[in-house]
Amino acid sequence: MAEIKADTTHQHNVSVPEDDVPVQKLQKPKRVASLDIFRGLTVALMILVDDAGGEWPMIGHAPWNGCNLADFVMPFFLFIVGMAIALALKRIPDQLGAIKKVILRTLKLLFWGLLLQGGFSHAPDELTYGVDMKEIRWCGILQRIALAYLVVAVLEIFSRDSQVEDLPPGWFSIFKLYFWHWIVGAGVLVVYLAALYGTYVPDWQFIVQNKDSINYGKSFNVACGVRGNLDPPCNAVGYIDRKVLGLSHMYRHPAWRRSEACTENSPYEGPFRKDAPSWCYGPFEPEGILSSISAILSTIIGLHFGHVLIHLKGHQERLKHWISMGSVLVVSGIILHFTDAIPLNKQLYTLSYICVTSGAAALVFSSFYIMVDISNFRYVFLPLEWIGMNAMLVYVMAAAGIFAGFVNGWYYDDPHNALIYWIKKHIFIGVWHSRRVGILLYVIFAEILFWSIVSGILHRLGIYWKL
């Protein structure tokens, strides 16, 4: 996560000048606590949906079209990365030095993405480590963030020489100042839409490679022969990933497996229907190539909001811009979805999905800005702020399950006689006599709250993990 970090100076990338004070006269920038809190909320949501989404499908990913709570996490991260790019790179005057820093951070993100999601660690439930290179998963959350970060950061570096400190009056003046950003964004959108609706998708076949499936080794055929289709089996996003990445390097448990066409327990996971179509058994990469290209737009929108924070000096002026633009984005996305023009779809990262989730990110951030940076209710959100200041650590240890896998590795006689399993069973599930409620409370208190306390202690000690 490109800007999910902090450093020991406490004057890291997320900074903003005091209101009504020129940027060039500042010696000590003021930290934007609301951005740390928003980042912490997003990491907490990721933990919640990853570990409780199976029991509560309404907070897990939508099987295909639609938008559940989990579907806001990735766009929120990209929005935050965009804002942080604007705030961070303005403090690096040397263009070559900035480029070197961006490239190095991109490589670090790619490394951690492959390490955590490529298949090496099977924590916390399977206490194994390693991956067959013929089956490594090349794409993932951090890889998508790395691509968006690289493109948008380089764009910001090469276009900032033409920028000015003082904006002329007018709502659209900031758009004119950064017009190259929007030209690139429009280009990204054109490429994505052209590929999505113009690519011919032929029939395809696959062999089930999930060794836990009763159909392991069985071959299935999927009939397509269409162009511009947005259904699960025959869209251009999946086709490009199958051709470029290869079926063996794609995600084997896509959310579409919980759709009504595949299982009678939809939206829960469960055995497939007897008449389930063949594509239900196939792989699909939710962080694939074409969908990652369109995801760059989420970061460009976040970058714009960071520019507003830099150039507009008054709280009211900033909020007016943020809230109006966020509202327009949300309404536009909803109209596209409910008119059946372009459905909301996280797996395809459609335009309507970009609009709704980026608009929601704008409104959520604006709410935190009002409560924290204006009304000074910062202490209410301290647990989220602590997580946001050490978010890479919390992501790796909690969301990626590394810490839970380590703890579960110490057991007595049987792998299920481990501390975490015991806590879930006896303190949460057993007390509430409900697996669903118990798992939800376990995630909130034993994971999110626990890591907020750990992050608070590390913050007090001045210890941070940054990329």
Q: What is the pLDDT of residues 364-399, one digit of tens each?
A: 999 999 999 999 888 999 999 999 999 999 998 988
- Give residue 133's pLDDT: 84
- Give residue 162's pLDDT: 54
**Poorest-confidence range of 72-81, 118-127, 342-351, 354-363?**
118-127
Contact predicate 124/404, CB 8 Å: yes
Checking if the pLDDT of 407 tops 80, the result is yes
Contacts of 73 (CB under 8 A, 6+ apart): 42, 45, 46, 49
d(CA 1, CA 467): 8
Task: Give the start-end residues of each E strand in 109-268.
Answer: 200-201, 204-207, 219-222, 226-227
Checking if the pLDDT of 28 tops 80, the result is no
Is the model more confident about 238 or about 4? 238
pLDDT > 90: percent of the chain: 58
Contacts of 449 (CB under 8 A, 6+ apart): 383
CA atoms within 13 A on the CB side of 356: 23
Cα–Cα distance list, 222 to 170, 200, 239 (Å): 54, 14, 12
d(CA 394, CA 392): 6
**Per-residue H/E/C for 264-313:** CCCCCCCCECCCCCHHHHCCCCCCCHHHHHHHHHHHHHHHHHHHHHHHCC
Question: Mean pLDDT, the chain, as a whole number?
Answer: 87
- Give residue 430's pLDDT: 86
Q: Are strands 219-222 and 200-201 parallel, antiparallel or unpaired?
A: unpaired
**Banded pLDDT at 19 (limits 50, 70, 90):** very low
**Banded pLDDT at 167 (limits 50, 70, 90):** low
- Give residue 6's pLDDT: 34
Q: What is the mean pLDDT of residues 335-360?
A: 96
- Record the pTM: 0.90
Domain boundaries along the sequence of the chain? 30-400, 403-462
The residue type of 440 is: L
Contact predicate 221/203, CB 8 Å: yes
Give pLDDT tens digits for 193-245.
Answer: 999 999 999 999 999 887 777 778 889 999 999 999 999 999 999 999 999 99
| Gyration radius from the chain CA atoms | 23
Give pLDDT tens digits for 71-106.
Answer: 999 999 999 999 999 988 877 778 888 899 999 999
- In the block, tokens 């306390």 appear at 453
Checking if the pLDDT of 420 tops 60, the result is yes
Checking if the pLDDT of 7 tops 50, the result is no
Instruction: Give the bridge partners for 222, in sequence order.
Output: 204
Q: Is 400 left (phi over 0), alpha (psi -120 to 50) or beta?
A: alpha
Checking if the pLDDT of 17 tops 50, the result is no
- Give residue 14's pLDDT: 36
User: Which of 350, 287, 303, 265 is CA-nearest to residue 74?
Assistant: 287
Q: φ and ψ at 287, to 5 degrees?
A: -115, 45
Residues 326, 332, 338, 343: what is their CA dihedral angle, to the nearest 10 degrees? -90
